[in-house]
Chain A
Amino acid sequence: GQSLEQPSEVTAVEGAIVQINCTYQTSGFYGLSWYQQHDGGAPTFLSYNALDGLEETGRFSSFLSRSDSYGYLLLQELQMKDSASYFCAVRDRDNAGNMLTFGGGTRLMVKP
């Protein structure tokens, strides 16, 4: 089986930097992705890491350490619109087919 752990809630102030961690346990691993979901909305794809290191896309960056089974999403220059839930997701090699397993999500609240 597979499992993903991420904090349930994080609070930060506008303009700050916040890091959302994700640890995973899988028998196989193809990569880690991150999705953003605003309340009542559809998840949207943010990033994907298959190799160790940092991937930067504008204000958002994502990091992966395969040896530590760990990754994080880094949000810089926080804006009020970044208030949302963030999910990490992995694919376990044992799954037959292209199934993704999502973490429980981290609710980010950005305060003025």
Chain B
Amino acid sequence: DGGITQSPKYLFRKEGQNVTLSCEQNLNHDAMYWYRQDPGQGLRLIYYSQIVNDFQKGDIAEGYSVSREKKESFPLTVTSAQKNPTAFYLCASSRSGTSGRRLYEQYFGPGTRLTVT
């Protein structure tokens, strides 16, 4: 079955530590995204990538970094510079294109709930 996997489901870290969240997809999608969701809030875009070896900052990229070395993988690193990293992190993918249903139909992974104390 095709889909997006994120691991782990729950992650606990001490303040000051960097942590990397995994995201893998086997949908053969070109575009991948990382979102942050805080309790009772909408999704805010952190980074996105339309093609391997290329990625763009979203609305809240400060304190985060990404890489896109393979089409299937788009890991997110939450660095110690992120002031409030505790949140629910969602990875998504979509077919490439600049308009139309292909862009709007994003497929999401199950998410990683990160708690930093």
Contact = CB atoms under 8 A, between A and B. Distances in A.
Interface in A85-112: 87, 89, 91, 96-105, 107
Contact of B48 (A30, A45, A99, A104): A99
Given A87-B42, A103-B42, 15 more contacts: A30-B99, A33-B104, A33-B105, A43-B92, A43-B106, A48-B101, A50-B100, A87-B43, A97-B48, A98-B31, A102-B35, A102-B44, A104-B41, A105-B40, A105-B42
Given A42-B90, A48-B104, A98 B42 contact: no
Interface residues of A, number: 26
A97 B108 contact: no
A96 B55 CA distance: 11
A6 to B, nearest CB: 9
Nearest to A42: B108
B110 A42 contact: yes
A44 B43 CA distance: 13
A98 B43 contact: no
B40 to A, nearest CB: 8
A interface, over-half SS: loop
B43 A102 contact: yes
B45 A89 contact: no
A30 B99 CA distance: 7
Interface residues of B, number: 31
Contacts of A103: 42
A81 B98 CA distance: 34
A75 to B, nearest CB: 19
A58 interface: no
B50 A98 contact: yes
Contacts of B59: 99, 101
Task: With a 10 A CB-CB cut-off, give which of B42, B97, B99, B108 has the most chain A CB atoms.
Answer: B42
B43 A45 contact: no
